[in-house]
Structure formats: structure tokens, C-alpha cells
Homo-oligomer: A and B are copies of this chain.
């Protein structure tokens, strides 16, 4: 659906290539239509772009072997995790091999004393937290989907806890990577800080599989706080909700989570998750700390909310109540898309300085007033990051064009406020022109790195940079 006409033709696989893969991988190699379809599709509005084959990696040696075989044959490699990215980040633009990492799902070590763990990239965030819970630890980064940690590292994901705990940029201590040259490198030691050379860890976080394949991740963990309180509060206006967040942060309140949902998003959440919140501009809060410190934070934020047209706080303090609340938030994208039967989603992803957030959201809300399809606003307002989720008819080119125009105006608005076209979804297929609009000549420095690491352009070609 997204301008495929501009993409070059796929090359046919070289003779004997699939045989070489089959010799090495046996049933770990699959070429059936259904499996290729699954690995070429996404949860968003992009058309399917299928790989020629799927290899299920089970070890770093498997990954290194795929890299070597593909490099010799000049065949593209696209790493694939949970398939939940929403900028077409794992589409096989030029075909080739989709390298499925989900069988590499071992938790290698949990170093509780050091608040870190070592995992394979196919581990999903919910499974990691299940594993950690008994040790009093948790991993905070939580995009809506139950994504793999490898995918989350590759897109520099964040989520609802980023305002307090940072993004994948902050969470990754070290990576093991198979480079395009087929070497296995480790980007850093397990020390909590280092000044040893270029920061390859941060270079690979957010590189979307274009510079090599992540085979192991060392992550920072956090102690489960003594007290956790979650609350929902409705506001008279979206602006009142945003102002409450901005002022809370300016007061130095270490909000653990603070999410905004507009009235239509609340209607979608109520329907999808069978809840009955008021269908108004709403904030979901979470506070972490000692009992006394949480109480102190709550008092300040309640006063600010009241001054900004907020209503009562509906508290969820039991774990099962909290889980229900945050499950509803995590499912908000699916809830919004399903406002229409048979629709597909398109999620925008701008992030602006906090001082411009209210203005950016209010202007966007006005621009959406005339949209011909459902369009909700939700986001991680503590970071200045919010999404519009459009629920699109996949067969209507008019709707696609309308959303493209709305998205263009939204991104231009954010860039004019010194913001970014993507807070957490990555560039993928959909933001390549906006990356250039945002960072100009800096993109040429990025391309220099890409060409140096991957001169054949075999690693997730057609992502981040236009072909």
C-alpha cells in the first residue's frame, strides 16, 4: 500500500542457494507460502513483501552460517522477531531470507546483584518479566505488543515506563552481534558504564537490522518498587490533561507511567477491553517508590490535576486491577484499529519538547476533526511522544491519501517544534523521507556507516534509507 512502485525489482535467488541453505538447516529452512506470507506481513497498513525463504535460527552459529551463505550469494537477510513492528521494519523489500529469531528465546543469566540479565533476542518482554518476578526484579520497557527484545532493541523501542526508566537506548548494556562480515562481536562489557571507544551498543540499538544481527542482549533491570499505585483520571479537555503532566514533571515528580488517551480512544478501550471508564480525555498514571514517597507524589499530582479540570482519581492498587488497566492500555492500538470492522491500522509517532506538547496535541486534534475515518490520540505524554491511530479501509486509496496528508501535516508540525518524526517506532519503510527532513546531512553520515559495514546492502535493505 505504501508506494511499492518506487521499489526496484527483486533479484531471483542464485542457482543452488536454497540447496546450500537446506544442507545446513534441514527443517529449520521453510519456503511454504503461508510461512513466507506471515514473515512478509505486518500489523500495520503496509502491503506484504514476502521473503523467498525463512530460516529459524537456533544459535549464534546458525546466524553466522546464514550470514555467510547469504553474503557469498548476495542474498538479502531480514531479521524477524514477533512481527509486531508498525513501520514495515521487517518487510522483505527485496525478498531474500527472513531470519526468524524467535527460537532463540533463552534467558541465559539473571545477575540479580547487578540488576542485569543476559538473554537471547527471541525472548519476549512479558515472558522476561514473568521470569524475573520471583527475584523482585522487572524490565520496564513495554511497547504495546508483546514484542521480542531483539526487535525492541533494533527499533529503539520504548513504551509507558520510558518517562521514568528510559528507552531501549538506556536499557541495553551490551549486545552480541553477528556482523555483515560474519564475525561475532560483543559491543561492551557488563560494567554499568564505560568510556572505551565508540559506543557500538547505542549504534546497534535502533539500527533496525541494517548493520548486522543481534544474537544476545545484556539488559539493565530494576527492583520491583515497594509500593506501586495506578490511577485513571478524566479531564474536561485534552489540554488540561497535558498541562497536568507537564507541570508534574516540572515539579520533579518521578512519574513511573503517564499515558494520555482522548475520548474516542477511551470509547475504543472500553469496547475492546470491556471496561466502563468515562469516554473523555483521560490520563493513566502509575507511581513507584516507598509507601510514603508514593503517597507524597500522589498528593502533588492530584492537586495539579484538580487545577487543570481533572476529576476523581480511580485507583487500581491490587496487582490484578493494575494488570487489567495496563493490559487495556497495551491493547489500545488494537482497540482503535477495531473501531471499524475489517480495518487496518496506521499509527503516527511524533515526539516534541515538553513545552510544545500541549500546542502540538491541540493543533493535531483540530486537524483530525474533519477526518473521514476513526482517528484516536494516545501516547506517552511524559516523554512528549504521542500517536494518532487511524482505522483505515485497506481497499480505499482515498482514505490512504487522506491519512498520508494528515500524517504529513502532523510530522511537519512536530519538526517545526524541534521534534522528531518517530519517538519509538523507527524509520522502517514509512519515515525515510522524514528522516532526511529531520536530520538533513546527518543522514549522509549514517549512510557512510551503512556502506562501511554492509557494502553489498544485504542487511534489511530498503529500511531507514531509500533504495
A116 and B293 within 8 A (CB): no
Collect the chain B residues with CB atoms within 8 Å of residue A25's CB. none
Q: A413: CB under 8 A from chain B?
A: no
Alpha-carbon distance A418/B114, docked complex (angstroms): 12
Q: How far is the CB of A208 from chain B (nearest CB, A)?
A: 9
Q: How far is the CB of A117 from chain B (nearest CB, A)?
A: 12
Collect the chain B residues with CB atoms within 8 Å of residue A202's CB. 169, 199, 202-203
Q: How far is the CB of A245 from chain B (nearest CB, A)?
A: 12
Residue-wise, chain A 397-413 has the 8 Å CB interface mask toward B (1 for contact) of 00000000000000000
B113 and A354 within 8 A (CB): yes
Q: A467: CB under 8 A from chain B?
A: no
- A113-B250, A355-B113 known; A162-B195 Cβ under 8 A: no
Residue-wise, chain A 346-362 has the 8 Å CB interface mask toward B (1 for contact) of 00010111110000000
Alpha-carbon distance A219/B83, docked complex (angstroms): 35
| 30 intermolecular pairs with C-beta atoms under 8 Å apart | A156-B194, A166-B170, A183-B441, A183-B444, A185-B440, A185-B445, A187-B439, A189-B419, A191-B414, A191-B418, A191-B419, A191-B423, A192-B383, A195-B423, A195-B426, A196-B421, A197-B206, A197-B442, A198-B203, A198-B206, A198-B207, A199-B199, A199-B202, A289-B293, A290-B293, A292-B293, A293-B293, A445-B453, A448-B452, A452-B452
Q: A435: CB under 8 A from chain B?
A: yes
Complex partner residue of A196 from B158, B252, B438, CB under 8 angstroms:
B438
- A113-B250, A114-B354, A190-B418 known; A195-B203 Cβ under 8 A: no
Collect the chain B residues with CB atoms within 8 Å of residue A194's CB. 156, 351, 420, 422-423
Q: A319: CB under 8 A from chain B?
A: no
A114 and B205 within 8 A (CB): no
A155 and B116 within 8 A (CB): no
The oligomer's copy count stands at 2
Alpha-carbon distance A425/B196, docked complex (angstroms): 9
Q: A256: CB under 8 A from chain B?
A: no
Query: Interface residue count for A (Cβ, 8 Å)?
Result: 92
Query: Closest chain B residue to A169 by CB distance?
Result: B199
A197 and B355 within 8 A (CB): no
Q: How far is the CB of A441 from chain B (nearest CB, A)?
A: 5
Q: A73: CB under 8 A from chain B?
A: no
A187 and B355 within 8 A (CB): no
Alpha-carbon distance A424/B191, docked complex (angstroms): 12
Q: How far is the CB of A108 from chain B (nearest CB, A)?
A: 13
Collect the chain B residues with CB atoms within 8 Å of residue A196's CB. 420-422, 427, 431, 434-435, 438-439
A200 and B113 within 8 A (CB): no
Q: A157: CB under 8 A from chain B?
A: yes
Q: How far is the CB of A382 from chain B (nearest CB, A)?
A: 9
A353 and B192 within 8 A (CB): yes
Q: How far is the CB of A386 from chain B (nearest CB, A)?
A: 11
